[in-house]
Chain A
């Protein structure tokens, strides 16, 4: 709908036609019933592989070389360098090999790294694989990719080895900060013969920790590696360099080696912080955001998902609940006028509303019952005043679903603006 403002021909109309979105609740009648999901990934071994890659600065961002540390517990087992022979000149390869020899590092091509370190050490020793912005580094090592399938649909499935029986690595981005990363189920070649004979199938999904993700979840901020190291005051700080994309030098190689050490130290510090949360039923590799941490607390407290406790709750009522839910809310009362504005936002709105409205009872409820409360709601609306609505004692009484017929009212909607 468009309205014309005759007084100001250059001013666009103040009313727009917008496609709005409504929340709903739909079920798949063919879906198999799902039992409670209490699955916790198996604990990884003491081994860890920390690695980082350096790439070209052109749009291809092709791998040039990388550095890794293999550790058992906190003890450094080996350090090494790997490189793409097609991306480095012979002179640069010579520099890299000489640097590795000087520092007693292992040195190999990136395909050898994938086979001997990524699979034969990290995968087979059930190591935790650590990196900063890990999806990017994994994609640099990949020999190919296809779209991922199943639960990882929408993500990438990276081929990391020419050996057909090796599992692929699937990466599915959830946000700019977090991604699911896992090994695919191995082919039979990788199964233990005894497990196969006894009908036992152990799928090793791996334990991947992106330090960037865990830092954002635990510290509620996005960090660069440099910023994180400064924030955590790690012993080793990230080195400075202007040599990205330039001819490979010892100084640049030292910079890359330091990056891996800084990533490890940040991981150690964040592990300690995660340990203080005391949520032993959840692995650190499962933490992808602040919300994951919240879920970990609920799990530790023994709070079971309500749908698991009351699976026969009517879908129609659930649909009404979903339809009334507006998570993010933005209001602009004066539009298309040049005015001085004040940006106003709230922090931690969900937990605040949950506490002030007494919604915790719904989180820990074994069962939710419902009834028609039209008379109560009508009577409440007839009596309530604006002053009452400013009193915290009124807010717990607002946990009622009502259907309204708008009459020149402003009601929240979900739509794409701008």
Chain B
């Protein structure tokens, strides 16, 4: 898991620069959504917190806001896992897409609450980012595939 996280960090902050793709992806968010399918409840919350803090540390703005939204996202995933069967790549892609939109909305509210700089608030860009995240989600899922899938834990 640490290797996956380090890999994501390197891709997000260094390797993307060398790839001529210019995709506005957020690998940390994809990792949380994919982790949501793999992990049990408590590790998933901790995963959301840690990955969120990692994302906050490389981007500007209010430190902790990303971790806040991603912990909420992790909790929502736990809730969904307890009620629905989340299997298959289309479901994963839909979760990642909706998760990105939700993440953007909560981030907007949290930054607004603390009167912090909002960054580039653009619904088109957010939708594009959600689409890119959904496209790369199956690849990230394969990377996480070595981790055993546990039974969902109800709240």
* A pairs with B: no
Interface residues of B (CB under 8 A from A): none
Interface residues of A (CB under 8 A from B): none
